[in-house]
Amino acid sequence: MADITPPAYRSIPIIPKLIPGAMEGKGPFVATDKINEALGFPGHLVDDWHDKAIAKMGDLLTRFRSLKVYMDACVHCGACSDKCHYFIGTQDPKNMPVARQDLLRSVYRRYFTLPGKLFPKLVGARDLTREVLDEWHNYFHQCSECRRCSVFCPYGIDTAEVTMAAREILQSIGYGQKYSLEILGKVHKIGNNLGLPAPALKDTLEGLEEDVKEATGIDVLFPMDVKGAEVLLITPSADFFAEPHIDSLIGYAKVFHATGTSWTLSSMSSEAGNFGMFIGNYDQLRQAALRIRQAALELGVKRIVVGECGHAWRVAYSFWNTLTGVGDGADANDRFAQMLQKQLDHRYKQPAHICEFTWDMIEDERIELDKSANDNLIVTFHDSCNVARGSRMGDYPGGQFDIPRNIIRAVANNYVDMDPSTTHERTFCCGGGGGVLTDDLINVRVKGALPRMEMLQQVTDMQKVNFMACICAICKTQFTKVMPIYGFDRRMVGGVHQLVSNAIVLGKNK
Amino acid sequence: MNALLAILFYLATLLFVVGLFHRIRTYAVTPAPLKIPTTPAPTTTGGVVLRMTREVVLFESLFKANLWTWGLGWLFHASMALVVLRHLRYFIEPVWGWVVFIQPFGIYAGIAMLLGLCGLWARRLFVERIRYISTPSDHLMLLLFIAIAISGLMMKFVAHTDVIAVKIFFQGLMHFSIQPLPADTILVLHLFSVVVLLVIFPFSKLLHAPGVFFSPTRNQADNPREKRHISAWAAKMESEK
C-alpha cells in the first residue's frame, strides 16, 4: 500500500491531456476453474472462444435493446469523453466512455454490420483477436457502471450496459473476473457476499446487542429469522462487521426499536448487494435476488426494507419487482408475482430504502432526536452513483437526493454540500463500485477516486468539513481504504444512519 | 445522366426506406428486460414524452455535457431541418403556404448549417479527445454533409441552376416518368451526395436519429415499484419452475 501515490489534484479542474496506454495491463485476476464452474461458466478460456464470443454477442443483441441501440447510435460526439472518473484520474483515452464502448463496438461493427464487413478500416471495425479479448478484460474492469456518462449522452447511451455485456461475453467463454464471480458463489452457497454462515451471523448480532446495551443501557434487538415480523431488513453483509458500516446497522436497529417496529434479518438471505448486475448476467442477477423473495415468503413479512447500499438499492428499487415480484402492480394472472405481492402491505413502498423508512418516521415525529450529539461534526454528503442515477426514493423524481439530506439535517446541525458539479445526478463514483472493489485493482481505485477527493478537499479546506456521509457499503469500504492515501483521516467516512444512531434518543417510545 | 440519377434515386430511396424500416423494427421488437431509466426520470408516460421531446428538440443532455458541442450540433441539426423543409417545394404542387413562407429563412439556414458543420469538424480535428475517438467515417460523414451544403448554396449564390426543371424532374420521378435535368455539374454533385447519404443512412451512425427514441435510459418511466415490468423471455424463466 505504501508505494501507491495518488494522482495530483488538478488546480483548475480542466480536462486532462491524454496519456495513451497509461492503464494498459492484465486487468483483474481471472476466475479459477472452481469459481467458474460453481456458477455454470466454463472453467477457463475455451478453445473456440472466438466463435463463442461472437455468438454470445449476437445473443445479447437480440435480448437487450439497450445494447442493440447503443451499439448503433453513438456518433462519437465526445459529450461523454471527459465525464468518467477513471478517465479523469488515469488520463488513459480508453477510459473515455465512448472509447470504452468502442472496444466492443468495433467488434460489433465487424461482425454485425454491413459497412464493418466490407470496409472495416473506414468505420473503425476490427476482428476479435486475443489482444482485443485481453483489452476487454482490462478496460471493462475499469468501469464501475456508475452511469455518469449516460446523464450527458444525447442518446442516453449507458456505458454500464456495454460493460455488463462485455463482462457477460467474457465469462461465457471462461474469462470472467475472480472477485465478482467468487462472491456470487458465496451468495448462492451461504447467502451473503462475505460467506458469513448463519451461526457466525447470530454471534455477531448478539455481540451487537451487548455493545449497544453497554453504550446506551437499552435492549436494542438485532433479530434474525423471526417469522411473522413486520419488516424484513435486507442489508449489505459488510454492515455486519466492517467499519464504519456497522455503525449504520446499529442506526437502523435503533430506528426500528424507537418506533416499535418488529423487524428481522434473514440468515439465508443476508445480503443486499447483487453482483449479478456487475457481471451483466440476468440469470445470476435473478438467482441472487430470488433469495430475498424466498426469505420474505418464508418469514411472512409485510414490508421489505433495504439498508445503505448503492448498486444494491438500484437492483432492489429498479429490478426486484421484475426479478422476484417484490413490488406492486403485477397482473392479476401473474401468479409468480401475486403470490408475494398479496402478502406485502401496499400502504408502504415495496421495497423501501431505510432512508425512506427513517425519514417517514422523522416526519411523523415517531422518533426523538438530539441534534447536538453530532455537533462535533461538519457533515457533507456523497451521493452514491447508483442511488443517484439508477433509482429513486420517495414520491417524486430526485427524492433520492433530498431524503438522505433531509435526514442529515434533522440529526445534525452542521451540513454543507460539495460542489454542485459533483453532486446529485452529476455525482462522481467513489471509484470502487461495480466489481472494482478488489485489491488487485487498487491502482484503478485510487486514481478513480480523484474527482471526489478534489471536491472533498475543497470543503474540508473552506468549510472545515470533517465527516462525509454516504449510503453505500462499497463507498464506505472504498473511501476508508483510499482516503488515507490522499491524506484524509479514514474516520471521516460513515453512513447516514451512523449520524442517526448518534442523535436518536432511546427509551422514550412514542 | 437523367436516367442514371433517376435510377440511383429510386434505388437509394428504396434502400433508405426498407433499411430504415428494418432497423426500426429490430429496435422495436428487441425487448428491454429491465427498467433502466437514467434517474431522476419522469414517473409517467406524459413525463417521458416531455423528456424525449426536450432531448430531441433541444438536445438537453448534450447541453449539460458541453456547450460548444451543443451549440454547433444544435445549429447544424435545426438548420438542416429548415433546409429539408424548404426543399419540400420540389415535391409538392401547389406549394403549401408555410413552405413558401420559410423559403428565405431556409437560405440563411443553409449558411448556418454549413457553419455548424465546419465547427463540428474543427472540433473533431483539433480537440485531442475527439480526434482520438474519430474514425475515418466520422470525418467523411461531415465532409459529405459539407459537400451537400456547399453545392446547394452555390446553386443559390454562385451558379444558378434551373430550379423549375429540377422540380419537373422530381415531380416526374414521383410519377415514374423520367424528365430532363439541367446538366450542371454542381447540381449533379449535390444530388449524387444526397443519394450517398440516403444509402448510408440505415447502415451507419446516422441511426442515432431513430435510435434515440428507443433508448431505454430515456424512454422508460421511472415506476418499477408501482408496475411490474417483465420481458417475454424473462417471464419464461418463471414458468419453468
A92 conformational bin, left if phi > 0, alpha if psi -120 to 50, beta if neither: beta
Tens of pLDDT, residues A45-98: 999 999 999 999 999 999 999 999 999 999 999 999 999 999 999 999 999 999
Q: Is residue B154 part of a domain?
A: yes
CB–CB contacts below 8 A, A to B: 224
Q: Which residue in this structure is represented by grid cell 401547389? A: B94
Show Cβ contacts of residue B85 under 8 Å, excluding neighbours closer than 6 positions.
Answer: B99, B102, B106
Q: How far apart are CA A395 and CA B141, in angstroms?
A: 45
Number of domains composing chain B: 1
**Could you tell me if A23 and A88 are in contact, meaning their C-beta atoms sit under 8 angstroms apart?**
no
Q: Check pLDDT > 60 for residue B41.
A: yes
Q: Is residue B237 part of a domain?
A: no
What is the structure's pLDDT at A509?
47
What is the structure's pLDDT at A27?
96
Start-to-end Cα distance in chain B: 66
Tens of pLDDT, residues B109-150: 999 999 999 999 999 999 999 999 999 999 999 999 999 999
Contacts of A331 in chain B (CB under 8 A): 228
What is the structure's pLDDT at A163?
98
CB contact under 8 A, A156 and B224: no
Show Cβ contacts of residue A12 under 8 Å, excluding neighbours closer than 6 positions.
Answer: none
Q: Report the run of H or E that residue A469 belongs to, with start and end.
A: strand A467-470
User: What grid cell was written down for A392?
Assistant: 429513486
Q: Is residue B67 part of a domain?
A: yes
Q: What angle do CA B49, B51, B52 make, to 5 degrees?
A: 65
Tens of pLDDT, residues A399-411: 999 999 999 999 9
Instruction: Determine whether A329 is exposed, middle or buried from the number of CB atoms within 10 Å of its CB (0-12, 13-18, 19+).
Output: middle
Q: Determine the structural domain holding residue B174 and report its residue range.
A: 2-27+43-214
**Could you tell me if B222 and A323 are in contact, meaning their C-beta atoms sit under 8 angstroms apart?**
no
Q: Is residue B239 part of a domain?
A: no
What is the structure's pLDDT at A12?
67
Distance from CA of A394 to the nearest CA of B (A): 11
The CA–CA distances, whole Å, from A148 to A156, A471, B241 equal: 10, 18, 38
Q: Is residue B234 part of a domain?
A: no
Is A165 near chain B, with CB under 8 Å? no
Confidence of residue B228 (pLDDT cuts 50, 70, 90): very high
What is the structure's pLDDT at B240?
59
CB contact under 8 A, B132 and A336: no
**Could you tell me if A139 and A132 are in contact, meaning their C-beta atoms sit under 8 angstroms apart?**
no
Which of 19-48 (B) contact A at CB < 8 A?
Answer: 23, 26-27, 30-36, 38-43
Segments of chain A with pLDDT less than 70: 1-3, 12-13, 508-510
Q: How far apart are CA A419 and CA A415, in angstroms?
A: 13
Q: Is residue B37 part of a domain?
A: no
Q: Is residue B33 part of a domain?
A: no
Give the residue from chain B lying closest to A402, CA to CA. B40
Show Cβ contacts of residue A283 under 8 Å, excluding neighbours closer than 6 positions.
Answer: A276, B237
Tens of pLDDT, residues B198-217: 999 999 999 999 999 999 99
Q: What angle do CA A436, A65, A333 make, to 5 degrees?
A: 105
B56: domain CATH number is 1.20.950.20
User: What grid cell was written down for B33?
Assistant: 428486460
